[in-house]
Chains A and B, each alone.
Chain A
């Protein structure tokens, strides 16, 4: 099948070339008049290929194409921790043909970065939240702790000895660690890596002792206990780790870190376009195939209305802003 597809595109290319000019002119002139969506929708993925966003984004694009009745094309626009891709969407026309999928970095960046090319709350709006997924707390196998409360006790007994890994400054694993330090008064050194995956060899050899990791990043190492998973960060238990307590259950009431994803569009879209897009999105999120595909990487679909999405966004913005300011994260 793949062979066919690739071969066909190789053979067809010259032919298509000949008609390309005519076709694209025709498409451009016809687009404006018809009802939305009359041409393909561009879904910008602001990270490099290969991560969760990429996978979830492509899955969403595929199902949204069906529910919207128009092809949705996923396109990677990586750079500057998601800012570059988000910025191109923030600057696009609010016509519903350019949308972006983003993670908590979209609310963290404005607080963390000294300058931003766009204003999150003025230039972008939520179409719908799409998913939610907890992080999992993993510890080095040599560390004699099996639960979250043991980790806190151990850390307090060994002040200044523990390191925790993250996927870089201001990433959710980093801020989750900071939140943990702030809630418990534990003293631990932050050791940033380029991605959480890179930290696992150092965790296996006990150079770093714990991390708040994405489930997808942790799975290869927790299934055979090369590192130990001790808790998940949702308010409900994770389906991937049903035996693990949540951090909330372990005593840190209300401690929640969510690696959510949402779809955003340039602000000022016509109301009918917004509602059509939101409906199609929520319909797609109920498809069994999509739910199954999400579950493989530990992600649960969660659709919202644009309004609820905006409320959630503001709450997340305030939550991480406080963690960043209390932890003086910008000062190093």
Chain B
């Protein structure tokens, strides 16, 4: 068995995974009866349809030839995801200044040709700007400094 269309193969697998999660979750909800359709009915149907489509893609990829997947570079992706998660962990307690300067600083290192000095400058400018715009001009409920 050879994978002839890697893009289709992996997307088929992805859809199948989501369909499986959907099926598992949906089976825990009531299907309803008569005119009163339960909360599980619609998600169950959708999961089945998604599973079928995923399976078609998967099987087809073994027969029809298709495009290769470009190699995945982990550094940019993981750095970006990490920076977002760190922001989420910091923002409720540490305030906008610390959280935002951290996220922009970390994110800057997702690129190949990052210049550290420039990244620091950028993060300072962005933080100042954001505090001005979001906290003082728009008065969004964000704390600027850490709250304990």
Residue of A10, A12, A21, A332 near B145 (CB, 8 A) is A21
Contact with B along A3-15 (1 / 0, CB 8 A): 0000001101110
Taking a contact as CB atoms under 8 Å apart, the answer to whether B136 and A13 are in contact is yes
Report, as a range, how many residues of chain B touch the other chain. Answer: 10 to 19
Taking a contact as CB atoms under 8 Å apart, the answer to whether B145 and A17 are in contact is no
Could you list 16 A-B pairs, sorted by A, with CB under 8 Å?
A9-B139, A12-B136, A13-B136, A17-B131, A17-B132, A17-B136, A20-B131, A20-B136, A20-B144, A21-B145, A24-B144, A24-B145, A25-B145, A75-B141, A332-B30, A332-B38
Within 8 A of B (CB), among A1-56: 9-10, 12-14, 16-17, 20-21, 24-25
Residues of A within 8 A of B (CB): 9-10, 12-14, 16-17, 20-21, 24-25, 75, 332
A14-B132, A17-B131, A21-B144 given; 7 more Cβ-contact pairs under 8 Å: A9-B136, A12-B136, A16-B136, A17-B132, A20-B136, A24-B144, A332-B32
Residue of B30, B133, B145 near A13 (CB, 8 A) is B133
Q: Pick the 4 closest A-B CB pairs, nearest first.
A: A13-B136, A13-B132, A13-B137, A17-B132
Tell whether B115 is near chain A: CB-to-CB under 8 Å: no
Taking a contact as CB atoms under 8 Å apart, the answer to whether A9 and B137 are in contact is yes
Chain B residue nearest to A6 (CB atoms) is B137
Contact with A along B12-29 (1 / 0, CB 8 A): 000000000000000000
Chain B residue nearest to A25 (CB atoms) is B145
Chain A residue nearest to B131 (CB atoms) is A17
Distance in Å: Cβ of B131 to nearest Cβ of chain A: 6
Distance in Å: Cβ of A32 to nearest Cβ of chain B: 12
